[in-house]
Amino acid sequence: MTKARKTTMLIVSAILVLATVLAGCSSDSKNKPSPSPSSNATNTPSNNPEEPASDVWEFGSEALEFSMYGHYSWYDVPAWDSTVAGRWLKENKKLNITPISAGGNPEQKLSTMIASKSLPDVMWMDRGADVERLREAGQLVAFDDYLDKYPNLKTWMGKDLNLLRSSDGKLYQFPNWYTGRANGNAGYVINKKIYDELGQPKLETTDDLYNYLVAVKAKYGDTVVPFDPDLAKDSQGLGVLYTAFKENASYTHLHANVRAVPQGDNLTSLFTDPTFREAQKYIAKLYREKLITQDAFTQTRDQIEERIMQGRVAVYAGANPTVVAMNAHQEMVKKDPESGYFMIWPIHKEGLDKNKIFPGTYTALGWNVNVITKAAKDPEKIFAFLDWYTGPEGQSLLFFGPEGKNWKGFDSEGHPIFTDDYNAEEVLELQKAHDPIMWNGNTGFIDPAKMKYESKLPAHEQNWAARYQSEITWPTQSNATEFINLVPQPDSELGIVKQRVDDIYTQAYAQSVMAKDDAEVESILDKAEKDAQAAGYGELLEWRTVEWKKNIEIIAGG
């Protein structure tokens, strides 16, 4: 998945709006937030309230200012006064954040900052190589002494926090969109009008899907794309199809950070995996018969969205199809109430248990992380802010605005209480505007807070994506936390091997989709396996197996 897509994913997977006014919600309670920790939470001060230690710094008790940098080519930390939350925090909590831009070239910017010893106080970045580069250089602040004093992170993330520890055993990373509950949006979106016009046929198995796509092409010709896999170069909908051919198959097996399939106690070659080969033959058949858009590997996001908005796609699948589909559905039904889109339970191969098919994945660690550098004057105070920000008060501020208008206080379960003045359109705009400053989102808090109220509404009044998250996508995403941290350092010998294997996979994947028959699919994947092994794939798999087993041990509490 591209980094640019990740921001879009957050809008729905973790920032999904309550699009209907929640009338009648009590606004009388003035309760303070009481975090409802995830199921794997540890026994922390937040679980068992005690008098705070005398050396605990209270966020907002005095002014705090620090610099922040986003380590991405597509992202810059916005001006702190540019958002409602930023202005409120500045006025009410005495917090000011100074943005530092990557200037579109984060690698060069980071190297320059390191060389000139001018690192920002906080950096927002991907887990992995760059974090370790900074840690090994002694430039990062460890958080271990802060966890019990400021317990929201420890409370909500629980023992999974240990997966973020570096090789020295210390914690340097504050995660974003971490969770102890299933989440995600991967799956299949169906064009309602086309489905109705074709008689609402059964659409459950891979055979059903093939027959349906054939029927679409026969009736609508070139005016409708039977199956749009989103950005095929990133797997997306084609990866979703892969999961239909084996119970518990994981979309993550195809990911560049894994590129392997578990067999017993080992991670084994993806190229020789029978399920992968079967899926590629099926996909190639769809492509040959022009049931998949022929520009699947070259189409742009704008082209995809345009077709979806115009209702010219029969089946749309991907790792996160809900954002585009929801927007299109809302516009289409304004003109024609019988049009729009809906989601179906994941497609499965005949004979498999449909409840063991998982088109998407999630991890307990979420997406990316925040690190505090040793350039920071007050690292503990910055951590105290981040911990407040990831807690109920901070998350409610970001999602629903300052306390008072849309929400007031918290209920006995720790969820914000929505007022009679709740304005759905205002909340939607707030969440869109706040997306760039959602640096340490707490999925375990915000998802139940939203869904508790959304689920009380009649189906036709529910937010489109919220409804299908609750009914379909969340129950059908699998936990892929065991597959994190399987990426060797880029400049290491294995890092170079990984890049070679990735290049081989990228080429073979596209070629196999476009193969003229099953035999050619086999031939392409045989060659890819041979080339990958010659490039050192076996050694990479051995290393990943060792790291994978370490993850499993940590997750099990070892």
Tens of pLDDT, residues 18-44: 333 333 333 333 343 433 333 333 333
Can you give the pLDDT at residue 429?
87
Can you give the pLDDT at residue 53?
59
- What's the N-to-C CA distance of the chain in angstroms? 31
pLDDT digits over 197-209, tens only?
A: 999 999 999 999 9
159-163, 237-241, 374-378: which range is least confident on average?
Answer: 159-163
Can you give the pLDDT at residue 52?
54
Q: Do domains 3-181+364-454 and 187-252+269-362 have the same CATH topology?
A: yes
pLDDT tier, 432 (very low <50, low <70, confident <90, very high otherwise): confident
The CATH class given to the 187-252+269-362 domain equals: alpha beta
Mean of the per-residue pLDDT values for the chain?
90
Can you give the pLDDT at residue 32?
39
Can you give the pLDDT at residue 50?
47
Average pLDDT over residues 342-358: 99
297-306, 425-434, 472-481: which range is least confident on average?
Answer: 425-434
Contact 242, 330 (CB under 8 A): no
Question: What is the H or E stretch that residue 496 is in?
Answer: helix 493-513
Contact 156, 35 (CB under 8 A): yes
Q: Which contacts qualify for 444-447: CB closer than 8 Å, 24 or more apart?
A: 444/37, 444/38, 444/156, 444/178, 444/179, 444/180, 444/181, 445/35, 445/36, 445/156, 445/391, 445/392, 445/395, 445/414, 446/14, 446/15, 446/395, 446/399, 447/14, 447/179, 447/181, 447/183
**C-alpha closest to that of 126 among 306, 365, 332, 310:** 365
Can you give the pLDDT at residue 24?
33
CA angle 343, 345, 346 (to 5 degrees): 105
pLDDT tier, 4 (very low <50, low <70, confident <90, very high otherwise): very low
Average pLDDT over residues 352-357: 98
- Residue 354, CB-side half-sphere exposure with 13 Å CA sphere: 10
Percent of the chain scoring above 70 in pLDDT: 90
The single-letter DSSP state of residue 174 is E
| Other residues' Cβ atoms within 10 Å of the Cβ of residue 109 | 18
Can you give the pLDDT at residue 54?
65
For the chain, counts of helices (H) and of strands (E): 19, 15
Can you give the pLDDT at residue 272?
99
Euclidean distance between CA atoms 27 and 418, whole angstroms: 6
pLDDT tier, 503 (very low <50, low <70, confident <90, very high otherwise): very high
Percent of the chain scoring above 90 in pLDDT: 80
Average pLDDT over residues 82-98: 98
pLDDT digits over 314-329, tens only?
A: 999 999 999 899 999 9
Euclidean distance between CA atoms 226 and 294, whole angstroms: 11
pLDDT tier, 129 (very low <50, low <70, confident <90, very high otherwise): confident
10-24, 77-91, 304-318: which range is least confident on average?
Answer: 10-24
Is 49 or 133 the better-scoring residue by pLDDT? 133
Q: Is 526 exposed, middle or buried (0-12, 13-18, 19+ CB in 10 A)?
A: middle
Euclidean distance between CA atoms 318 and 355, whole angstroms: 19
Could you tell me the two tokens for 104?
Answer: 């579109």
Q: Which of 46-50, 328-332, 526-530 has the highest mean pLDDT?
A: 526-530
Q: Which contacts qualify for 427-431: CB closer than 8 Å, 24 or more apart?
A: 427/17, 427/18, 427/399, 427/400, 427/401, 428/17, 428/19, 430/84, 430/85, 430/398, 430/399, 430/400, 430/401, 431/11, 431/15, 431/17, 431/398, 431/399
Alpha-carbon distance values, 50 to 47, 56, 119, 148 (Å): 9, 13, 37, 12
**C-alpha closest to that of 29 among 420, 453, 409:** 409
- Residue 449, CB-side half-sphere exposure with 13 Å CA sphere: 32
pLDDT digits over 456-476, tens only?
A: 677 777 788 888 998 999 999
Average pLDDT over residues 399-417: 94
Can you give the pLDDT at residue 451?
80
Q: Domain-by-domain residue ranges, the chain?
A: 3-181+364-454, 187-252+269-362, 482-555
Contact 437, 78 (CB under 8 A): yes
- pLDDT at 166 > cutoff 50: yes
pLDDT digits over 219-271, tens only?
A: 999 999 999 999 999 999 999 999 999 999 999 999 999 999 999 999 999 99
Average pLDDT over residues 296-305: 95
Can you give the pLDDT at residue 361?
95
Contact 508, 521 (CB under 8 A): no
Four-point Cα dihedral 461, 463, 468, 474, nearest 10: -130
24-33, 132-141, 379-388, 410-419: which range is least confident on average?
Answer: 24-33
User: Does the domain spanning 3-181+364-454 belong to CATH 3.40.190.10?
Assistant: yes
Average pLDDT over residues 161-190: 94
Could you tell me the two tokens for 328?
Answer: 């299109």
Beta pairing, strands 341-344 & 187-191: antiparallel
Euclidean distance between CA atoms 327 and 287, whole angstroms: 27
| Other residues' Cβ atoms within 10 Å of the Cβ of residue 142 | 16
